[in-house]
Chains A and B, each alone.
Chain A
């Protein structure tokens, strides 16, 4: 239960000091996504959940972390972080409110402090902390935030990735459901958020709290069962509007998340999110550009994992392979297979079509020129690549990557001689 009579001991103060440094480190190292519209939106939803809760050593802050891995966590000082990867998976504000309400509950119920006190008493904990502070990020697919957390506070990594105790998590779900409902959000938001998270787009082995699938099913069930039969539900039209409104707010951060996903090798997630963007605004040159980029990056992979690829054995094998091979090697291996060659043919055709569509919608879209150039370069259509790069540099001579493109252009011209 919520305990505003919590008494801070020395161990708690030490943890709090570490947490403060973690907050600062996130900012310093470019992990926090800053956008005034998004910040204001997250704060509005978050503070509606928080209502009038005031707690010692808690200052509420709601922030997006630049990380394509779906996750969210709360620091015991009231800093609530939600990854751009999770924002992109959710469908509407009610689902967002559910996630934030869950995290707020961890803070109000001082779960981190009690878990810390418990964990420090066990030898097992020492082993966990040592294991986590190894070189290898969790399951080899950890995100930016997880890497940073592991560096600063292995305990926080344990909590944010592996979750609190089952009882604490269930308490956060059910109490979170109550406070989200009291704040005026539709209670279905919580089980629906868990359903959104069940999309295992990358076929991950990593069972973080937000993508542990057996647990997610359980959470869908007990939260659904906790909702009163006469509780407010959205009609189909309202649901559609809610979805559209949410996606409109998320459009900019979702685009950013696509870039992060591509940078992190999460190509299927990039396709998934950018398809959402195109479905939202099909006439947007930018959104078509992002989908084109995603298909280009996807390369010789299918956009959705097959049932065979989703088996536990296949996921383990794929994770092992990712740990052993570089992305370039994985691409080359796949391309050498008939399925990979077929997938690349299809993806490159889609990519080209989308880049051209993007340019049709806005012929001054410099990024689309660059993307098309990179696609043609990958397809060994050198002359076309040269033309597109030249067009890009004409449109954006002082772009941040202008030197990079000039270098590529020079190499292409040299190789054509």
Chain B
């Protein structure tokens, strides 16, 4: 690649490093939501799973404590975004210390069902618009608050680079190896188990350190979801 091309490429990569791409188009709604056959007035957020890795030149390490913290922050951000749409967010009934084994197992099994579906949701998100995906009415086993219309599943992955790794990735710019954050939010009918909405905002990893940027990303990613009337 000629020098001018390389410079342009490096500039584009630097832009991406600060990119905040909660793409409004990366939101997919089930026709029942679009046609207002289903209205979400109340939702329960299941324990989120957002995993952050720290990458150095020697390899990746999990940031377990930070992952737990960011899971909490993302949950809060999603809760707030829903409340701004006048959707009542039911208080988390899944405190691990308060659950008996049966309830823990039920929650684990429903989370597993969602995780098994997730690759398809990520790869074929457009099919949410065809009402293709469901977890089945087994979701009712969670027995969330009887007025809850929807269950919210939050998943996420983030990569944070050390300074050394960042330097390495800039020098080896053509490897296209960058820090990023990807959050997905799945909204599932609390009775039928149908996936009503799915969103997958993608951003540079700065949102992990910046609560305002995180909130903005989440709010933007749920923009298409109709407010509760």
Residue positions of A touching B, CB distance < 8 A: 14, 18, 21, 25, 28-31, 34, 66, 119-120, 125-126, 129-130, 133, 135-137, 140, 144, 147, 151-154, 260, 263-265, 323-324, 326, 328, 400-401, 403-404, 407-408
A345 → B minimal CB distance (Å): 23
Contact A404-B96, Cβ < 8 Å, known A30-B105, A152-B64:
no
CA distance A328 to B62 in the complex (A): 35
Contact A263-B59, Cβ < 8 Å, known A30-B107, A400-B102, A403-B140:
no
Which residues of chain B are within 8 angstroms of A260 by Cβ–Cβ distance? Answer: 109
As a 0/1 sequence over residues 101 to 120 of chain B, the CB contacts with chain A under 8 angstroms (1 = contact) are 11011111101110111111
Give chain B's interface secondary structure class: helix
Q: List 15 A-B contacts (CB under 8 A).
A: A14-B61, A18-B62, A18-B64, A29-B104, A29-B108, A34-B101, A120-B59, A133-B51, A144-B108, A152-B62, A154-B62, A326-B120, A403-B140, A403-B143, A403-B146
A75 → B minimal CB distance (Å): 14
* A263/B109 in contact, CB under 8 A: yes
Which residues of chain A are within 8 angstroms of B138 by Cβ–Cβ distance? Answer: 263, 404
* B133/A326 in contact, CB under 8 A: yes
* A147/B59 in contact, CB under 8 A: no
Which residues of chain A are within 8 angstroms of B122 by Cβ–Cβ distance? Answer: 135
* A264/B112 in contact, CB under 8 A: yes
A149 → B minimal CB distance (Å): 10
CA distance A324 to B124 in the complex (A): 9
Which residues of chain A are within 8 angstroms of B191 by Cβ–Cβ distance? Answer: 407
Which residues of chain A are within 8 angstroms of B133 by Cβ–Cβ distance? Answer: 326
Which residues of chain A are within 8 angstroms of B137 by Cβ–Cβ distance? Answer: 404, 407-408
B209 at the binding interface (Cβ < 8 Å): no
B15 at the binding interface (Cβ < 8 Å): no
Which residues of chain A are within 8 angstroms of B120 by Cβ–Cβ distance? Answer: 323-324, 326
* A407/B140 in contact, CB under 8 A: yes
Contact A136-B132, Cβ < 8 Å, known A18-B64, A129-B59:
no
Question: A130's contact among B47, B60, B109, by CB below 8 Å, is which?
Answer: B60
CA distance A28 to B157 in the complex (A): 20
Which residues of chain A are within 8 angstroms of B129 by Cβ–Cβ distance? Answer: none
B53 at the binding interface (Cβ < 8 Å): yes
Which residues of chain B are within 8 angstroms of A136 by Cβ–Cβ distance? Answer: 119
Which residues of chain B are within 8 angstroms of A408 by Cβ–Cβ distance? Answer: 137
As a 0/1 sequence over residues 47 to 64 of chain B, the CB contacts with chain A under 8 angstroms (1 = contact) are 101010101001111101
B213 at the binding interface (Cβ < 8 Å): no
B141 at the binding interface (Cβ < 8 Å): yes
Contact A400-B106, Cβ < 8 Å, known A21-B64, A34-B101, A408-B137:
yes
* B112/A144 in contact, CB under 8 A: yes
Q: What number of B residues sit within 8 Å (CB to CB) of A?
A: 41
B23 at the binding interface (Cβ < 8 Å): no
B78 → A minimal CB distance (Å): 19
* A326/B132 in contact, CB under 8 A: yes
- Nearest residue (CB) in B for A400 is B141
Residue positions of B touching A, CB distance < 8 A: 47, 49, 51, 53, 55, 58-62, 64, 96, 101-102, 104-109, 111-113, 115-120, 122, 132-134, 137-138, 140-141, 143, 146, 157, 191
Which residues of chain B are within 8 angstroms of A147 by Cβ–Cβ distance? Answer: 112, 115
B125 → A minimal CB distance (Å): 12
Which residues of chain A are within 8 angstroms of B51 by Cβ–Cβ distance? Answer: 133, 151-152
A209 → B minimal CB distance (Å): 22
CA distance A21 to B61 in the complex (A): 13
* A153/B62 in contact, CB under 8 A: yes
The winner among A31, A125, A140, A326 for most chain B CB atoms within 10 A is A326
CA distance A408 to B137 in the complex (A): 9
CA distance A323 to B118 in the complex (A): 11
* A30/B104 in contact, CB under 8 A: yes
B44 → A minimal CB distance (Å): 15
B87 → A minimal CB distance (Å): 22
The winner among B62, B101, B102 for most chain A CB atoms within 10 A is B62
* A125/B62 in contact, CB under 8 A: no
- Nearest residue (CB) in A for B47 is A29
* A133/B134 in contact, CB under 8 A: no
Which residues of chain A are within 8 angstroms of B157 by Cβ–Cβ distance? Answer: 133, 135
Which residues of chain A are within 8 angstroms of B49 by Cβ–Cβ distance? Answer: 151
Which residues of chain A are within 8 angstroms of B108 by Cβ–Cβ distance? Answer: 29-31, 66, 144
CA distance A324 to B117 in the complex (A): 10
Contact A66-B141, Cβ < 8 Å, known A28-B96, A130-B60, A151-B49:
no
Question: B59's contact among A29, A125, A326, A404, by CB below 8 Å, is which?
Answer: A125
Contact A326-B117, Cβ < 8 Å, known A30-B107, A30-B108, A66-B105:
yes
CA distance A66 to B104 in the complex (A): 11
CA distance A152 to B67 in the complex (A): 9
CA distance A125 to B58 in the complex (A): 9
CA distance A265 to B96 in the complex (A): 27
CA distance A129 to B55 in the complex (A): 10
CA distance A25 to B105 in the complex (A): 14
CA distance A39 to B69 in the complex (A): 32
CA distance A241 to B121 in the complex (A): 49
* A401/B107 in contact, CB under 8 A: no
Which residues of chain B are within 8 angstroms of A326 by Cβ–Cβ distance? Answer: 117, 120, 132-134
- Nearest residue (CB) in B for A22 is B64
CA distance A119 to B116 in the complex (A): 29
CA distance A328 to B109 in the complex (A): 18
CA distance A147 to B49 in the complex (A): 11
Question: B140's contact among A25, A119, A151, A404, by CB below 8 Å, is which?
Answer: A404
The winner among A21, A126, A265 for most chain B CB atoms within 10 A is A126
Question: B119's contact among A29, A34, A140, by CB below 8 Å, is which?
Answer: A140
B140 → A minimal CB distance (Å): 4
CA distance A28 to B97 in the complex (A): 8
CA distance A408 to B141 in the complex (A): 13
- Nearest residue (CB) in A for B146 is A403
